[in-house]
Structure 1
Amino acid sequence: MISLNLSPSLSPGLLHKTRTRQQPTRLSALLVTNPKPFNHRYPLGLSPIPNLQIRDAAAKPLLSLSNPESSSGFSRKPRSIAAVGSSDSNPDEKSDLGEAEKKEKKAKTLQLGIVFGLWYFQNIVFNIFNKKALNVFPYPWLLASFQLFAGSIWMLILWSFKLYPCPKISKPFIIALLGPALFHTIGHISACVSFSKVAVSFTHVIKSAEPVFSVIFSSLLGDSYPLAVWLSILPIVMGCSLAAVTEVSFNLGGLSGAMISNVGFVLRNIYSKRSLQSFKEIDGLNLYGCISILSLLYLFPVAIFVEGSHWVQGYHKAIASVGTPSTFYFWVLLSGVFYHLYNQSSYQALDEISPLTFSVGNTMKRVVVIVSTVLVFRNPVRPLNALGSAIAIFGTFLYSQATAKKKKIEVGGDKKN
């Protein structure tokens, strides 16, 4: 973007006549003639003269200034005059722009670090207090429903007080969301059932096998994967199998719950891509909020049917076990609030980074959660169990690397076509 400040004796209407009478004027001379202060109304002092062109003696256009509403438009980042090749560029302006870019980059890095830190911290808090509540109140259907309820209330508050823009809800959007919300419900309740029956660390090790289900289901639906992706899922299967065989708290219901959770979340992701392609104006945070509300409507009626008759009796046992009702309420409340908060932070992180970086961050998050819950609950871990867990998590890292390369190849092929 270039500012043209013309001398009063050289108006745009007389530009051509003046050039025929005098020697050809250099562009750099025009740029320094009668400098005017910065115009804040138009970028870099540019006046709204549509399609003004300056030509040299050979009638070759040196510069074209289009109307801001034209198809070409203006760049969002202003360019310095030195970009045109002017010999009068100011090195101080270059250094100032460089410093500004460095500060902006540091600020974004700091912001991303804070989002990642919150994501990890909130996930750890959720897993700890979710397990504490389930240990004294082993009714995962009610607890899972409350977690969705807490997230729904959170989003309704954000929308009602205009703390976050409310999405435009339409009938086609609701219809497209029914499938993903159903699979999200299946994934969430199955994970809660698994948490209630086995150690948190074991559930997370089994849930690291989610890429295996993703590759299998996507292949059945017509997607193709290179050999590197298929090889990357082998250590995941081997590691999960070794961890399951050597798990002290092994329970078939806990293993099945974690497996079904993987299936549910994989199908949610697949159907989200297929049914929500035409609703790109809704960002990830609003999308997750809408899914939480629909999932609550799916889950709570079923929860009443499955275990509703045991809730009152289980509540009294939980209070007697904990000692004070406020402590139990505190655990349940934190499990609900932090369940939504860690999902919200993950969506915010995904908006700022590439899918590969997000996958690596998600893998490391699982490691942090496993280590934290083992330390808090003092679950016994055998050496072979730890080895199997490490192999499975390393396999998820290899999978994220292989799928990222696949996406780069597909993007490159699309550009060539």
Structure 2
Amino acid sequence: MLCSTMASSFPAIAVAAHLRPSVARMPRSGVGPRVSFLCEVVRSSLSARKPLYLTPNRVLCSAKPRGPFSETRAHEASRNDAIPLSSEESRSAAAQKLKIGFYFATWWALNVVFNIYNKKVAVAHTIGHVAATVCMSKVAVSFTHIIKSGEPAFTVLVSRFLLGEAFPLSVYLSLLPIIGGCALSALTELNFNITGFMGAMISNLAFVFRNIFSKRGMTGKSVSGMNYYACLSLLSLVILTPFAIAVEGPKVWAAGWQKAVTEIGPHFVWWVVAQSVFYHLYNQVSYMSLDEISALTFSMGNTMKRISVIVSSIIIFRTPIQPVNALGAAVAILGTFLYSQAKL
């Protein structure tokens, strides 16, 4: 290196354009004088008060003062600055969005049909709820749940004869007190009604099919219990609406609503809302349980649930009950306990 300098604030190296004539006039007699002369020229041309820079062609030059820096940033274009699309491009974009929406709708519909309707779960779900509602409108709530406590018997019989599943002998023996207790309660029921009794039996059979096929549909966790029940409810609404309009119709609905408001009062609206919410949550939680257990265990738990319903309905509604009727209910409940022990 020929020479080096230190500025007061920062190091700088520069050679001005007028150095070239000076360098050209250097003596050529020896290396030492030539180097000394060049260093003297560089020292005389340096200034610590000027910023120095290095040019791309590697020539050291004196820096010229620059103006203030301007900062450029990207910004979002306003709607006025947007480039308008042609009508043909707009139609093409709209058609593309419509096609994607159609694909998603078809995808969802086919998935629902494959997972639910193809297994007839929604039909069984609808029939079971309608039959249970008809039963409760004809007989006492306690009697409805006593008859519906025989659901494990229907589960075993359907699984054995229609699906070919085998069970140990203890399971079949546990069905005897269940069937006997339900029969004893039905024979000694004071307010017995054949329509209500048949409604409870149909509801048992329909819910057994729903539970069995729903459990098969949720195999492999392709759909959760909550989503499964949501799809069932929507499809059941579609199935039930035409029958409700054909059998009853708006006139019957209006008359029934007016009668209910007259007998119960204006609070009837809130009762309907509360009943709808709690009934949906009850079935939602039951399907969440079905997602974790077998169909038979679910039927057992559903039967044990009826114990609290039977006792509470008798106390709240003050339903008259005979000792033999209570004995039949106790025998049926004992059968569910034996059934649960046989399944362990």
TM-score range, shorter chain: 0.5 to 0.7
Normalising by the residue count of structure 1, what TM-score does the alignment of the two structures yield? 0.52
Name 1:377's counterpart in structure 2.
317
Name 1:270's counterpart in structure 2.
212
| Pairwise CA distance, 1:358 | 5.5
Cα distance in 1 for residues equivalent to 2:238 and 2:182:
33
Q: Pick from 230, 244, 247: which aligns with 2:172?
A: 230
Alignment of 1:245 with 2:187, yes or no, is yes
1:330 aligned partner, one-letter code: W
2:320 aligned partner, one-letter code: P
| Pairwise CA distance, 1:273 | 3.8
TM-aligned CA distance change 1:354 to 1:311, over 3 Å: closer
Cα distance in 2 for residues equivalent to 1:357 and 1:258:
20
Alignment of 1:190 with 2:131, yes or no, is yes
Does the 8 Å CA contact 1:204/1:370 hold for their aligned counterparts? yes
| Pairwise CA distance, 1:236 | 0.9
Does the 8 Å CA contact 1:235/1:392 hold for their aligned counterparts? yes
Alignment of 1:345 with 2:285, yes or no, is yes
| Pairwise CA distance, 1:190 | 0.2
| Pairwise CA distance, 1:345 | 2.4
2:339 aligned partner, one-letter code: Y
Alignment of 1:396 with 2:336, yes or no, is yes
Q: Give per-residue Cα distances to partners, 1:330-368, cap 9 Å, x unaligned.
A: 121111111111122233445567878765543332111
| Pairwise CA distance, 1:224 | 1.6
| Pairwise CA distance, 1:301 | 1.4
Does the 8 Å CA contact 2:135/2:144 hold for their aligned counterparts? yes
| Pairwise CA distance, 1:319 | 1.7
Name 1:177's counterpart in structure 2.
116
Q: What aligned pairs does 1:14-163 form with structure 2 within 5 A after superposition?
A: none
Does the 8 Å CA contact 2:304/2:336 hold for their aligned counterparts? no
Q: Give per-residue Cα distances to partners, 1:1-25, cap 9 Å, x unaligned.
A: xxxxxxxxxxxxxxxxxxxxxxxxx
Name 1:366's counterpart in structure 2.
306
Cα distance in 2 for residues equivalent to 1:269 and 1:364:
17
Q: Please give the secondary structure, in 1, of the residue aligned with 2:221.
A: coil
Normalising by the residue count of structure 2, what TM-score does the alignment of the two structures yield? 0.63
| Pairwise CA distance, 1:256 | 0.4
| Pairwise CA distance, 1:298 | 0.9
Alignment of 1:335 with 2:275, yes or no, is yes
TM-aligned CA distance change 1:321 to 1:379, over 3 Å: same
Cα distance in 1 for residues equivalent to 2:310 and 2:108:
38
Q: Give per-residue Cα distances to partners, 1:219-255, cap 9 Å, x unaligned.
A: 1221122211111111111100100011112110100
| Pairwise CA distance, 1:176 | 2.9
Does the 8 Å CA contact 2:150/2:178 hold for their aligned counterparts? yes
Structure 1 window deviating more from structure 2 (245-254 vs 356-365): it is 356-365
Cα distance in 1 for residues equivalent to 2:114 and 2:297:
32
Q: Give per-residue Cα distances to partners, 1:203-225, cap 9 Å, x unaligned.
A: 00100111111111111221122
Unmatched 5+ residue regions in structure 1?
1-167, 406-417
2:115 aligned partner, one-letter code: A
Does the 8 Å CA contact 1:173/1:279 hold for their aligned counterparts? no
Cα distance in 1 for residues equivalent to 2:246 and 2:235:
18
TM-aligned CA distance change 1:217 to 1:356, over 3 Å: closer
Does the 8 Å CA contact 1:241/1:388 hold for their aligned counterparts? yes
- Structure 1 runs (4+) greater than 6 angstroms displaced: 352-357
Name 2:197's counterpart in structure 1.
255
Q: Give per-residue Cα distances to partners, 1:86-144, cap 9 Å, x unaligned.
A: xxxxxxxxxxxxxxxxxxxxxxxxxxxxxxxxxxxxxxxxxxxxxxxxxxxxxxxxxxx
Q: Give per-residue Cα distances to partners, 1:142-166, cap 9 Å, x unaligned.
A: xxxxxxxxxxxxxxxxxxxxxxxxx
Cα distance in 2 for residues equivalent to 1:258 and 1:313:
26
TM-aligned CA distance change 1:314 to 1:350, over 3 Å: closer
Alignment of 1:208 with 2:149, yes or no, is yes
TM-aligned CA distance change 1:278 to 1:294, over 3 Å: same
Cα distance in 1 for residues equivalent to 2:137 and 2:165:
35
Does the 8 Å CA contact 2:218/2:224 hold for their aligned counterparts? no
Q: What aligned pairs does 1:286-325 form with structure 2 within 5 A after superposition?
A: 286-308=227-249, 309-322=251-264, 324-325=265-266
Cα distance in 1 for residues equivalent to 2:214 and 2:290:
16
Does the 8 Å CA contact 1:183/1:268 hold for their aligned counterparts? yes
Unmatched 5+ residue regions in structure 2?
1-106
Does the 8 Å CA contact 1:246/1:382 hold for their aligned counterparts? yes
